[in-house]
Amino acid sequence: MRVINTKIFLRLGLLFAVAMSLLAGLPFSVFAQTEKTVLTMNVLYGNFNNTVKAGQDNIIYFQVGNGGNVSLNHIVFTALVPEGWTVTFNPDSIESLGPGAYSTVEANVRPAGSGERDNTISFIARSNETQQVLPVYTQLESTSGYWIWIGSGIAAVCIAVFIWVFFRLNRKQT
Amino acid sequence: MIERVHEHIIEELRTNTRTDTIFVLTSIVLNLISLAVNAIIASNNNDTSATIVMFTFVALIIVVNIVAEIGLVRGRQTRTKLTNGLLKMYKDNNVEGYYDSSLLDNYKTRYNLFMLVVLFTGLVALIVPFIIR
């Protein structure tokens, strides 16, 4: 019984305080939802194992999402890549992405014929409100197995020369 | 005088052994070093300068192995000639029974095995970097 009375008194006290504030014209704050602009980017690794083939088209899919509570407008995609590399996006821009919405973007990475083996590509998504950078580590892979054939060819020539030298010198002895 | 000649032949044989050992060890060590360098280059870089360095080491492997092979063949021939001289000397002094002439065949086999080892380490040093690349 006593507990109920205490609660009623507390509520009445709070109401009285608010009423008095309004009457006296004192300022009081109203909690409003703040604008949050969050652009997220993730590589869809199911289609990508971090290796890109030199001089060929390599498709990397990534997902852009709006993790905020306002729409993101005119999202344009660009990329920072090593010299000689090209990247094209499909779509190359998104007009609007609502809160909580996601969209998949296809990036076609075409590396140069040769270069450093370890590289990082930075995918950049820039909207009117915010921007996001997605660094992706890649390993450059030779386009074909022709190096193995070159190595095998050199090895075969070496074996032939070795045998030729061996028999020629042995013949000279006799 | 014959004793001096005998000593001289023995000394020549020792020198020959030392030279052959140097040839074998140097070629194997250089092959392994080249393998390590080329494997590192092949796994890290795909550009033109790396390829040039790689092929320079390939040239080094080829030259070292051919030089080692020529050295070993010549070493074997020298050893055969020296041992034949010794055998003749022993025969002239009627002590040839103490020296088995089949030792010459053993030396021949041993030299061929040395050359095989040199050739194979050279081939491994050549091929592995190209496979990695």
3-state class (DSSP) for residue B98: helix
**Count helices and strands in chain B by DSSP H and E runs:** 3, 0
Residue A170 phi/psi, 5-degree rounding, is -65, -35
Of A54, A117, A165, nearest to B69 by CB-CB distance is A165
Q: Where are the domains of chain A?
A: 39-143, 146-174
Overall pTM surpassing 0.80 (yes/no) = no
How confident is the model over A19-31, as pLDDT tens digits? Answer: 665 566 655 555 5
Of A148, A150, A162, nearest to B119 by CB-CB distance is A162
Does residue A150 surpass a pLDDT of 90? Answer: no
Identify the domain containing residue B81 by its residue range: 2-132
Does residue B34 surpass a pLDDT of 90? Answer: yes
Helix B2-44, helix B48-92: angle, nearest 10: 160
Partners of residue A117 in chain B, C-beta under 8 Å: 43-46
Partners of residue B74 in chain A, C-beta under 8 Å: 169
Q: Which two tokens stand for residue B28?
A: 């194997």
Give B17-70 as a DSSP string: HHHHHHHHHHHHHHHHHHHHHHHHHHHHB-SHHHHHHHHHHHHHHHHHHHHHHH
Number of domains in chain B: 1
Band (pLDDT 50/70/90 cuts) for residue B102 is confident
Of A115, A151, A169, nearest to B46 by CB-CB distance is A115
Q: Give the CATH number of domain A39-143.
A: 2.60.40.10
Which residues 29-58 of A are in CB contact (within 8 Å) with B?
54
